[in-house]
Amino acid sequence: MADLRQFDVPESVDPDEWRLSVTGAVRHPTDFALEDLTSLPLETDTDDFACAEGWVAEGLSWRGVRVARLLERVEPADASAYALVDGMDEGYACAFPLERLSEAVLAVALDGDALPVEHGGPARLVPTGEAADCWESIKWVREIEVRETEPTADDTAKDVALSRLE
């Protein structure tokens, strides 16, 4: 497995209790188990992972479900334009324009192996594209809340993540 830094897993993270809820301004709110995700067509996104702390894990190969596939199933309301992605580690969430989030991968595997809990398993959001910041890669994703209005700055993980830099 590639050299992706490993941090302590918070006590609030219980992979045995993991489910993904897609809620909010959608026609069909849905809970997904890991088996539901892995039964969907999976895609691979390979790229370097650069952290704001200054380290880079080169050539990581994330395999998972494109978020657009999940959104197709829940059918966002016509006025939906944003989403808040929340992890099992309480207080860590990130807001995205819905169009950008659609391109992200909800990874269930890393470098050919099931995504270990230490790296955000069972499912981790991996934003794609050059505009992606490391703090947007939400570990232990438990909810995607679709919204019609933009989440506030208080709803995002950026300040939490950047406060960890020494």
CATH value at residue 140: 3.90.420.10
User: Which pLDDT does position 10 carry in this prediction?
Assistant: 65
The rounded distance, in Å, linking the Cα atoms of 118 and 36 is: 22
Q: What is the pLDDT of residue 1?
A: 46
What's the rounded Cα separation, in Å, for the pair 82 and 146?
Answer: 6
pLDDT on residue 51 = 63
Report the domain count for the chain: 1
Q: Indicate whether 81 belongs to any domain.
A: yes
pLDDT of residue 71: 97
- Within a domain: residue 8? no
99 vs 123: CA distance, rounded Å: 20
The pLDDT, as a whole number, for residue 48 is 62
Is residue 6 in some structural domain? Answer: no
Enumerate residue ranges in the chain where pLDDT < 70: 1-10, 48-57, 131-132, 134, 153-166
Q: Which of 164, 61, 56 is nearest to 112 (CA)?
A: 61
Q: Answer whether residue 120 is part of any domain.
A: yes
Provide the domain limits for residue 108: 16-163
